[in-house]
Amino acid sequence: MPRNEDLTWSDEIVQKTWRPIAIIVGIGLPISYIFYTHVIGKRFPTSGHIPPDAFTKKQIIRGRVVSVGDSDNFRLYHTPGLGWGWARKVPTKRKELAKQTIPIRLAGIDAPEGSHFGMPAQPLSSESKEFLTSMVLGRNVQVQLLSRDQYQRVVAMAYVRHPPFYRLKNVSVEMLKMGMATIYTAGGYGVYRPIRPLEKPIYDPEKDVTIVVPTIDAGDEFREAAYSWLACNPKEILVVTEEVMREPIQELANSVAPDKIKVYTVPKASKREQMAEGIRHTNTDILVFADDDAIWKPTMLQYILACFEDESIGGVGTSQGVKPLGKRQTVWEVLAGFRLTIRNIEVAASTHIDGGVCCISGRTAAYRTVILKDPSFIHNFTNDYWRGKYKLNSGDDKFLTRWMISHGWRTYMQVCKEAQLLSTFKDNWRFLMQVLRWTRNTWRSDFRSLFTERFLWTTHPFVSYTMIDKFFNPLTLLSGPASVVILCFLQYHLPEWNILASYLVWLINAQYVAIDCEFTGHLRDLISNMEQRYDAMAQVVRSHSILSVGLTTITADRAFDNFEFLLNNQTPYQSNAANLKFLAQSGFDFNRHYSIGLPFRPGPFSASTQQQQKSSSSSSSTAKNRKMGQKNYQQQQKQLQDTQERQLRELWFDIFNILRTKNIPLIVHNGLLDLMYIYQSFITSLPAKLSGFVADMVEAFPGGIYDTKYISNYVSYEQITFLAYLYHKYKRTGYKVDVQKALTPTYIDDSHDENNTQPKKRRRKNSHDDNDKSLEICHSFATRGYCPAGQACKRSHDLNRILDRDQNVNTKDPSSVPSVPSLPEQEQQQKQQQQVISMQQQKEHSAHYDSYMTGYIFCYMVTQYQGGDELHDAMNKLNIMKLDIPLRITHGNFSKPTLQWQTVKKYLHDRHISRTK
């Protein structure tokens, strides 16, 4: 070793300068990194600061619980590193904690909710929240990150240490052990929510989106579709076709937007080669494939790009609807719409449950360009063989979906009206050939996913289940017709015509049932608390009586049948003077009601009592023959009345059975009180609590309940929503239904034409002529459909004048009258006669006519919102007067059906079984 005096100047620099620097850098940097990550740590102030890979890796973070919101969520102050409690402190003041906490939703459990948004608290909600509070509030917890939900909450497993052994305890498991929660089961489509665009998004359609359209014979439908794409403002549109079609496609593109639409070609028509050519010419971050007839909403790209804010998502799909080729949909297009509706529900449910999807439909699908630019992808995409022999050209969307899954990318489906496309389908029998091609591609691709690649089994188990289900669907769909044929050939105990007729009746049954009731009392004072309002309404229903029920059945082809039940309560009941006055002024015939009304007794139901009445009624004829004219004549009359009461309730039980077994939706208008009266009159005594009534309604009407009052308020956003106003307004559009002969007694006005098949409506006789144009319109009637002055009102109640005013119609100018579809001359004359009759009849109010109007309004709404999710979202939501939120008729884990309903349900089941034997 050389002495110091032998060291050169370069050796001195190395030993005295660079060696210490190297030691400091080599040791200091790792120590600094370890100190920063483990001692100081990177803190996540909110859920938005947590990177996507933290959820992918199921990272565990630590923090202190600063507040408990409800029984299954709390707020966490993230405390990474060391020194919390002595060197660093967790804030305690609300102002200091603002935008510094992470909302945590406990995974795997569903706990009872407290009262919020005007809804009453669920049972055990306070006890459950107290248990969670005592377990985590103010304590340090460990949280395993699982996902981020639509409310930007972090869904996570939480662990906490408790004495004496300070072992980690799973908070969700502890709540389950103590009975403070139940296991959470995903609700699929019912709880799915699309991803909404951010205020300041990362991606901009004008800079980051290229639309690629493979086509060979684009026509006029392309022009309409292209304008809808341009409304979304993409950077450019690339149309790829074959060489021989370049000129006509270029002319078509130039006629739309020559500066935005570019045309590329491939030597021979091949959809995959055309898509690959579009990929090669794409220079933006996001690439969207679209069919040449896919019509978009203006918000389509905003909602697609919102999903790509999550870096783990590689592909995004959309919801779909049918655009008819003509003015009306053919039966083939209706079948296509039904198929797409089922698909929208399926992909939304699978996306919510396990984040996967069977296929991102190629009609419109968006992907990250970096994935598709991969040379291995393009090679495999354009050289895809089935069984190594047959090169595949179709099934491109299935291939892209499988590629996303097999390469670790997530997918998401935007199922909402803002991201819905409309597409055309074959309007004739050739639609079946399309379905056959889709089915062939589905079987071929799903077989690969499940048994060749096998990624789905571990990443998306629910999607795997749906794929297996699709293998057997065609077989199960054929089982019904096959059973009919087999029974006919085996000489079943029923004749062949009976078997076939029964099968057809099962297929062609009522699609909807609308109801309306007349009663002697309603709640005068509207209470804001829903639980208290229900208690007050239940007292009114128990002490008053239903007078008549209108029932309208509606088939799939919009054929209406109308029925009215006049009812005579055999128990004492109260009557509200205002209700009776209103009914009398509306033409309600109390003489007919008391003379021919069907006897019934509301209240509790007993299966044993029902059987006793049935057995006693069967022996009444023998007693009558034996002792006619003797003392037991009164007893015979009593037995006859009991028989009528039993038969009426059994008739309604049969109606309920049909609604339940066929899953037929029930249609009402502001129908909460109607449902309560029907429950009390024909099912059993009203439950003591609102939660019990809601749980019973869910099981009584599994097909769902639609309230046209709620739909008109919160879906259609109508300014005036009383029944007659909506009916006459929608009728002016020319919307027509097929009204069968009304099966009701003819107690109508003589002004009706005998050939008029509409349900009969009563006429109110005023002391003045409403058609007098000099009369001022009654504001109360025009806004609410009710005037406190009644017949004494000096203003006009003419709905036609009110509608003319609201629609700005000048009756002197024929061109200002709303146009309706052209009709033959005979139908035009009949329509004019009906309009004259409508002008003469100033106020319609009867149960069966109200049910008819309710059904008409709902069918019009179905037509208006066909293919959208608006009406589905409105299902099982009842309008609540003077409240901005509906009463939701939905299942709750902490509100069970009542014992009275369980008894009725068992009787309904036994009755249905006995009837089907």
Pick the catalytic residue from 43, 62, 127, 153: 153
Give the span between the Cα atoms of 549 and 668, in whole angstroms.
Answer: 12
In DSSP notation, 214-271 reads E-SS--HHHHHHHHHHHTT--SEEEEEEEGGGHHHHHHHHHHH-TTTEEEEEESS--H
Q: Helix, strand, or coil here: 361? A: coil
- No. of helices (H) and no. of strands (E), the chain: 35, 27
Our measurement of the distance from residue 127's CA atom to the centroid of its chain's CA atoms, rounded to an integer in Å, reads 32
The bridge status of strand 390-391 relative to strand 73-78 is: unpaired
Taking alpha carbons only, the member of 158, 163, 116, 118 closest to residue 141 is 158
Give the span between the Cα atoms of 628 and 358, in whole angstroms.
Answer: 74
12 catalytic? Reply is no
Q: Which amino acid is at 558?
A: R
650 catalytic? Reply is no
| 375-382 and 271-280 helices, crossing angle to 10° | 160
Q: Helix, strand, or coil here: 512? A: strand
Taking alpha carbons only, the member of 667, 666, 674 closest to residue 549 is 674
Taking alpha carbons only, the member of 204, 202, 208 closest to residue 236 is 208
Give the span between the Cα atoms of 848 and 549, in whole angstroms.
Answer: 7
Taking alpha carbons only, the member of 685, 683, 520 closest to residue 593 is 520
Cα 914 to Cα 29, 400, 680, 908, 911, distances in angstroms: 82, 53, 25, 10, 5
Our measurement of the distance from residue 563's CA atom to the centroid of its chain's CA atoms, rounded to an integer in Å, reads 30
The bridge status of strand 385-386 relative to strand 390-391 is: antiparallel
Q: Which helix (H) or strand (E) holds 449?
A: none
161 catalytic? Reply is no
Pick the catalytic residue from 64, 105, 363, 646: 105
Give the span between the Cα atoms of 844 and 764, in whole angstroms.
Answer: 8
Identify whether the C-beta of residue 844 lies closer than 8 Å to the C-beta of residue 393: no
Residue 579 CB partners (closer than 8 Å, separation 6+): 519, 520, 521, 522
Q: Which amino acid is at 589?
A: D
Q: Which helix (H) or strand (E) holds 801?
A: helix 799-806
Quick one: tokens of 397? Answer: 């969307």
Give the span between the Cα atoms of 303 and 306, in whole angstroms.
Answer: 5
Pick the catalytic residue from 113, 333, 346, 518: 113
Give the span between the Cα atoms of 844 and 853, in whole angstroms.
Answer: 10
Beta-bridged to residue 286, according to DSSP, are: 209, 368
The bridge status of strand 261-266 relative to strand 385-386 is: unpaired
Residues assigned a catalytic role: 105, 113, 153
